[in-house]
Each structure stands twice: as structure tokens, then as C-alpha cells.
Amino acid sequence: MIPDMSIMIISLVFVGISALVSYVLKSKFKKYSEVATSSGLTGHEIAEKMLRDNGIYDVKVVQGEGFLSDHYNPATKVVNLSPDVYGTASVAAAAVAAHECGHAVQHATAYPWLTMRSKLVPVVQVSSYLVQIVLVVGILMVQAFPQLLLAGIVLFGVTTLFSVITLPVEFDASNRALKWLDSAGITYKQEHDMAKDALKWAAMTYVVAAVSSVVILIRYIMIYLGASRRD
């Protein structure tokens, strides 16, 4: 079926782009993990310092598991750092640790985009669970029951909105991180540029995901409108 094929092709193209960006990100992280910061502070120490410098004392910094699994959980107020970041005094570790603490600062200051994103999480969890089934059945039954595809589009639209809202959240966290790393004397000129480069590629993973979601959403809308006109 042509609509299915077009969506499959679009998805495969973005899977390829995502894989390429992920490869570059991992290469950058590995490269900058071998560059020590002048401060000599580990990711854990940097995270603790950034939180204190921003007057945040109710957020824990813990070591998680996995590679580049770093994240901040606003529900539990915990900054989870991967082993390669937590105990390493490198430019890559500094950039990642500061970025995750940037999210904690956003949370503490009620950054609007993060607040909006957090409120969408329960809805997105439900939408993500249902969307693929509804869309597949909706495509198959688009001639007889186009309303089902419309329901799938609404569900997919929610996940797309979440991806788009994630962009300002991620970019702002990186900007906060880089600004603080500079002002706190953690990274100097060359180190700062490396940290900025690492965070740029990390942000690109979210950009690709958001653009992919928007393009696929538009394609589904076109399929629905085409079926509606035929009716």
C-alpha cells in the first residue's frame, strides 16, 4: 500500500540519520572523555557544585548504569550520572553532569517548557502505548472508517508535541550548563569549546527525533485528508 510505503521510507531515512548522529555523539564523547579538565573535578563533584551554586540542596546525585544513560528525574529530584561521567574528571563528564544539573535548575526555577513537558508525561505514556495500533488499523480501514486514523493522528500529535517541547528544554539546559562551567572556572577556552561541541551533538539527537515525528505526522494528516476528499 503506497501510504504505508511512504511512511516506512520516511521512517527508515530518519533511522539512518539518527544512527549517524548517535555515532558522532559517541565518538565525540569518547574523544572528550580523554581530555582532562583543568579543575580536576569529577562529574559527581561538578554536579554537586553546580547544584550548590544555584542554591539547590534537595537534589541527590547518584551513579546509574549504562553508557550515556545520564538523566534528571524531576519526580524524585535525582540526577543520575552514568559511570563514565560520575567518577571521571574529563571535559565530556563535565559537560554531561552540568547539563543534567541544568535540568535540576530548570525544575527549581519552574522553567515553563520543563513544567509543560512534565505535565505531558502521563498523557504521552498512554498515547505511546496506543498510537501504533490505532495508526496501523486506521491506515488499513481508512476508506471505511477514516475517523480511526484521525484518532491515531491525535495520539501521534501528542507524542510529536512532546518531542518538540523537549527541544527548548534540552537547549536551555545546555546553555545553563555552559554558562555555569565558564563562570565557575570548570572549563577554560579550549575545554569550553569541546564541552559545547559535545552538548551540541547530544541536542542533535532530540532535533532529529522531533523533525522525524513532525514529518511523519504531516504524512499521516495528508493520508487522512486524501481519504476524506475521496469520500
Q: How far apart are CA 8 and CA 219, in angstroms?
A: 11
Active-site residue identified among 34, 45, 48, 100: 100
- As given in the structure block, the three cell numbers for residue 225 are 485528508
111 in Cβ contact with 169 (< 8 Å): yes
Q: What CA–CA distances, in Å, run from 141 to 129, 170, 229?
A: 20, 38, 15
Confidence (pLDDT) at 230: 61
Q: Where are the domains of the chain?
A: 2-230
Confidence (pLDDT) at 1: 41
- As given in the structure block, the three cell numbers for residue 95 are 559537560
Q: How far apart are CA 89 and CA 150, in angstroms?
A: 51
Confidence (pLDDT) at 225: 87
Q: Which of 71, 72, 65, 62 is nearest to 108 (CA)?
A: 72
Confidence (pLDDT) at 4: 57
Confidence (pLDDT) at 2: 41
With residue 73 as reference, give the H or E element that holds it.
Answer: strand 71-73
100 part of the active site: yes
With the C-alpha atoms ordered 91, 211, 130, 103, is the resulting torsion angle positive or negative?
Answer: positive
Q: How far apart are CA 177 and CA 173, in angstroms?
A: 6
| Helix segments in the chain, DSSP class H | 2-33, 43-53, 83-86, 91-108, 112-140, 146-183, 189-230
Q: Which of 167, 185, 196 is nearest to 96 (CA)?
A: 196
Residue by residue, pLDDT tens for the chain (231 residues) are 444 578 888 889 999 999 999 999 999 999 999 999 989 999 999 999 999 999 999 999 999 998 889 999 999 999 999 999 999 999 999 999 999 999 999 999 999 999 999 999 999 999 999 998 999 898 888 778 888 999 999 999 999 999 999 999 999 999 999 999 999 999 988 999 999 999 999 999 999 999 999 999 999 998 888 877 665
Confidence (pLDDT) at 204: 96
Q: By CB neighbour count within 10 A (0-12 exposed, 13-18 middle, 19+ buried), where does 114 fall?
A: buried
pTM, to two decimals: 0.89
